[in-house]
Amino acid sequence: MDKNISFTLKVWRQRGPKAKGAFETYQMKDIPGDTSFLEMLDILNEQLVNDNKEPIAFDHDCREGICGMCSLYVNGHPHGPATGATTCQLYMRRFKDGDTITVEPWRSAGFPVIRDLMVDRTAFDKIQQAGGYVSINTGGMPDANAIPIGKDIAEEAMDAAACIGCGACVAACKNGSAMLFVSAKVSQFALLPQGKVEAKKRVKAMVAKMDELGFGNCTNTRACEAECPKCVSISNIARLNREFIKAKLKD
């Protein structure tokens, strides 16, 4: 059984996108080690509400490591110090009694702060929308295995599709680059025959939208890959570059 810990929590508080933010400090006492990080924030918010204070705004949804909504910067790491995990999969047993834990929102021009620990990540939605749809004539309920795809290619496409669009790659990058996210979305279609119809149009549109929304350039520091909760490989960025160059040469 995990022992209880007490610690100091420093949380970024900001009332709105244009308001000046600052850290506020809270003392957390006897938190069980098997408490998830988000559950710990729930406990803190209950205390704040009971004290007639404003609760901390933070994003969450599935709490199963699937949606990526729990986008918190914990002690300098997107999603916290656990490797290959989202914030909701981070448990307080990872910390020591007496620790000081600092919690911040994503820091990126592409993800402006909405309030406290919540950021506006609709930029990722706009990039995906720019990529459009996959055109395929499905006819009348085709067999799922009607199009033969090699095992290695299928697995590579699935690895790219594992990206949940949480934004940890952007938060980890010193340039605020979204290349890992965009390359994963491009790769999951570029590798498969169903995605080749609009491949050239898709990669140009998504890269253009990424640049338009103010994300930085990739300089291959690999911080994105190291902090990605789904361990998406930067080999996808190389594929994105190849797809983009081929599309431009076709023009």
The DSSP result for 43-111, as a single string, is HHHHHHHHTT-PPPP---S-SSSSS-----EETTEET-SSTT--GGG-BGGGS-TT-EEEEE----TTS
Do 10 and 38 lie in a common domain?
A: yes
What count of other Cβ atoms lies within 10 Å of the Cβ of residue 104? 21
43 shares its domain with 158: no
Q: Are residues 210 and 129 in the same domain?
A: yes
Q: Which tens digit of pLDDT belongs to each residue from 203-220?
A: 999 999 999 999 999 999
CATH number of residue 148's parent domain: 1.10.1060.10
**What is the phi-psi region of residue 147: left when phi exceeds 0, alpha when psi lies from -120 to 50, beta otherwise?**
beta
d(CA 120, CA 117) in angstroms, rounded, equals 10
Q: pLDDT (tens digit, 9 = 90+) per residue, 70-84?
A: 999 999 999 999 999
Domain boundary among 59, 94, 114: 114
In the chain, what percentage of residues exceed pLDDT 90? 87
Q: Which of 114, 147, 173 is the last residue of a domain?
A: 114
**Same domain (yes/no): 139, 207:** yes
Q: Let me know: does 181 contact 163? Beta carbons within 8 Å.
A: yes
Q: Is the pTM of this model over 0.85?
A: yes
Q: Is the pLDDT of residue 123 over 90?
A: yes
Domain range for residue 102?
Answer: 4-114
Residues 130 and 94 in one domain: no
Long-range contacts, 149-155 (Cβ 8 Å, 24+): 149/192, 149/193, 153/191, 153/192, 154/192
Total tally of structural domains belonging to the chain: 2
pLDDT at 145 > cutoff 80: no
Phi-psi region of 79 (alpha: psi -120 to 50; beta: other; left: phi over 0): left
Give the percent of the chain with pLDDT over 70. 96
Q: Please compute Rg for the chain using Cα positions.
A: 20
